[in-house]
Structure 1
Amino acid sequence: MASSHALRWRWRTPRWLAESIRNKLLAMALLPLLVVFPLLVLALAVWGNAAYDRLLITKVRSDLAVAHGYFDQVLIEVGSGTQGVASSRALFAALQRLRASARNPTSQAALQAQLAQARARLGLDFLVLYDPQGQALGRAESTTSQTPAALAPMPAELAASLQAGSARATASLMRLEPDTLQALAPHLLPRVQIPVIATRNAAPSERTTESRAMVVLTTLPVRDDQGRTMALLSGGLLLNQNLDFIDHINRIVYPDGSLPFDSQGTATLFLDDVRITTNVRLFQDQRAIGTRVSQTVRDAVLGRGQTWLDRAFVVNDWYVSAYEPLLDAREERIGMLYVGYLERPFRLVRYGMLGLIGLIFLVVMALAAWFSLRWARSIFQPVEQMNRTMQRIEEGQPQARVGALAARDELGALATHLDQLLDLIAEKTQALQRWGDELDHKVAERTRELEMSNTSLQLAQQQLVKSEKLAAIGQLTASIAHEINNPIAVMQGNLDLIRETLGTHSQPVLAELRLVDEQIERMRLIVTQLLQYARPTEYAGYVESLNLNRAVEDCLVLVGHLLSQTQIEVQRDFQAQQPVGMNRQELQQVIINLMINAIQAMPTGGVLRLTSRDWPADQGTTTGAAQGAVLCVQDSGNGLSAQVLERLFRPFFTTKNDGNGLGLWISQGLVERYGGQITAENRADGRGARFCVALLTEPRAPDAVSTHNGRPGSL
């Protein structure tokens, strides 16, 4: 059941394809164009799109690294600047005077002025000095300074960070509640109040105002000469609506002319998911401060702490974006740093490139299809014309011919040879009919004469007529076979050239080519049979394609009884790959004769060495294409003298008392009948003789066989 089910579902060649070489060639020419080319374009588009995306992501990753480096530099500068003020001699002296004067207004004003000067020099938003107990001693800010009495004590949140040991020379990010900022720098409260704007794709939220602050803050001790803490100095920078800060980042990351195709680069700082400072535009002149990030980005960056490197919807357009979380001193995620650039210009360029590639492929495919159809037509039209000619001849139109073809290739030559062959067959057919009529006329005349003779004369006359008829038919068939062999060889050669020229493209027409091969072989067999009939002595045996190595093994079995009676060791070295063309019984007769001679040359034992090699077509080389195979039979006897070598292949010459001297002579005749060679020589080391038989894969007349350095044994 399983085998029948598999057979039923096996794919079969459609009838329209199996019965027409035209359809096969058209399918072979158009299938790669209609299937392979589109798949190649699709693969190129997919690969190019992915590679283009990787380039964009790589670009925005490097942009984020630049922005992150500048952000870290700001933290370092705020920390080091505050550290420089805390360790300055001027601040120490001002604190000393403030203590000595019991905080009189003059000393208080001097301290306030010194803090204001340091704040302006460092570019900070605030600089506040506290005593070790957290009471404010002075504050420098960007507005009119206040008196010490109006200063608030150190905020609890700042005091908690000091107790946790977070005070360090490098500033850190902090997220401050409004009351904390009120106590630390009340003049900054207007910049903190940011209305939250409903944003597309953002997470649902009921917040309407963002009143928290993101500050770069450091708090450092002011020590005396003995290392005791005299005061605490807090310096910081507010990032909410700090447009100079974010514009500077944008100029560093995306200087003028750094982005091609008129793309625009942007940078943003987020407090939680709200833009607190940005150069992304909500409208033409209004920055998108107060808008929120999309929920997808928020979940990835703030929720899972990942760095986002992908396209993202920013306010009202798609950007190639990079987001990374911002951490406070306690390693908590309090916001995000963003850089990115408009995707639209790059997307348009990408689509344009893909369209151009697709157009180029369409043009190439159209041109290739046109040329393929023309070349396919140049192949199937001559074949169809030859097929129609053969059909007309089968239908009884012997004068049908292919005629002149425009093709000048192998198909054109094949059509010409086919016409020549048809002309030759028609001519020989007419001659055969004419000779047959003449022969019938002569036979009739002789018959009338013999009827008047006695019975013995009638029998003699009949025998004579038969002999003459056989002689006439033999002469006629020999002439026809000789004339037909030449065009058959030309047709076979052109057919082989067609197969070699087409290469792998001949797969769809292998069945038709194989059919032509079979018909040519059938014609060659008919010619051979005619020649055997005409010259029976030259084709005494039926020619077979034989494996020389297997034939030697079979002969060893036949002489096994002789080997068992001796101390002879048999060595085999069979490397012949080419078959040989010869009658099987005659080949065995030659091999057995050589083996028996070698065995008789070693009456006390020795080594019988049998080797086979391919017979190269090129003289004197072993690298040419093989034309047959060579068998060498070597013994370890006494060898052959010069007199014996001279007369070895003559009839009735023998060195044995019980021999008739015909074995080697008959063997030589059998081998040469098939165009082969047989040679004898002494081994190079002087230990025995060697007989070599060279046989062709395709037998031919002995005079047509070129010698191989004079001796096939040289192989």
Structure 2
Amino acid sequence: MKLRSRIFISILIVILVLGSAIALLGFVVIQREIVARSQDEVSRNLKSMRYIYNAKTDGIIEALSIISHNGINKILPSEIGADYIRVATQISDTPSSVVRNAFYEKKIISGSRLVAPAELELLGKAFAADSAIYIVETQRARPTEKKVEDRALVIECAIPRLDYLGNVTSVLYAGRIINNDVDLIDEIHNFIFEDTLYEGKLPGTATIFLDDVRITTNVLTEKGERAIGTRVSEEVYNKVIGSGEAYRSRAFVVTDWYVTAYEPISDPDGKRIGALYVGRLEKPFMDMTIRVLLIFGLILAGSAVAGSIISFFLASNISKPVFEMYKATKKISSGLYPKQVSTGSRIKEIHSLAEAFETMILDLSARESAITAKSEQLAALNKSYLDLIGFVSHELKGILASTILNAYTVRDGFLGMINFKQRKALDSITRNLDYLAETVKNFLNLSRIEKGELNISKAECLLREDIFDETLEAFGKAIADQEMVVINEIPVGEKIPADRDMLFIVANNIVGNAIKYGNEKGRIILSVSANGDMTDIEIYNDGQPLSKEDADKMFGKFVRLDLAKKRHVKGTGLGLYITKEIVERHGGTLACRLEEEGNSFIISLPRGKHEESA
């Protein structure tokens, strides 16, 4: 493809991307300003519905207060907006939680509750028949085998009657059955929404649910009938009735998508028994969105055509000089640095760009030469550094071995008896020699790591017998001097594929640290556990718990922690770094877990097949 075509297509893509961004921005604005505003309005509508729903109990309470003083003779429930009026002289007279709370709390109680079929029969046989809701199969609802909802949702008020001692003698209560109460839902709808249709559908709807079943609603089915008996979607049910949260979003309601708001209805005991719903038909807002986006699309299409024509001529004028610079960049990428770039352009900006490009080529050439020379110098210095560490460590290792042997031979009296002061001096010498030997080993291992010569050769070994028993034996005197208690919970015969020598270094470093930084007379606990495909080896010691900051940095090279109680302990800051490198070369991990009275180091090693790695 020619450069001119590429420039033309690139500019065209920019136009299309910008146009799409503008369209997306327009869509977001519409969503935020129209749909979001509609969602806010629906939320306010739900508050209004809740107010009307609760207000029904207020009217019943006022009427019951009058009846409580004047008696219930010749008073019909319908006159006070109720379906029944009853008197309970003791709690066992009714299963109503509203009445029960009125007995216990000695005050007026109101709320919603569920009435079982048997109680409906006691209230009146007509109630049981009129309250039955036949369940209709509904899209997106949760699965159910129930065919009839024979319970009823009621709003109920109870007023306790007290004697002169303040004891409850009886409770006067009344309730309104919500099942099939279309008058209530129509009253709510007329108060909240305008009485219009959009494409033959109500733009605003309201519903009261018993569990997930619509027991009264003005939502219509495809046949134009009230959708009583249909059910709420499973998504809404899980959030509102399952989790007790309000749901404010778009939802599928029987036949259409609505901008909706739901909130749960709870009984006096806090159990969720139903939900209130209001919603506005989503289609009017979506139609408005489509119309606005269509206008945006026409404007953007016109802009794209105009921009395409302009970009074609612009691409033709700049394609040749840009192509020359493109060829120059290809030479640079292959290591050639042309001294001049001929553009032949009369455009001032292009000419200036070509001059800057030539200057950049000269700078890049000089910088590459300098970087190459510096890299060679650093590589030589690094090799010398590693060779020196390896040579010195190797030479010192042999000398120290002989020196340590002789020092211990003299100290332990093999060459003749020594006095107390001589023994004390030789103890100091041997401690320093041990520290120096450990330092030499660490620097030798560091040299092997830095030079990539730390090879891991795995073979099956016994974790306790081959590794940790020998480690604990080597540190036996140090453990005895500290009067520490070692609890080795690693099972006998526990096997793991690992490089025995390398894992021995790991065990020595971790156990050695546990002794050096642990409390006198403290515990060291060794344990092992399976963790999926890994084996976790845990070494715990009583001691000063580390800070999180120290735990994060302690595995670095030459890092020593400033622990107030252990500042006298010597070290190079290499032990944990080398340990971590060895564990990771095994394909494992090393971590520190902070405990209340100490610290645990967890070595995680794979329990896979034997393999070799470098």
Structure 2-normalised TM-score?
A: 0.49
Structure 1-normalised TM-score?
A: 0.42
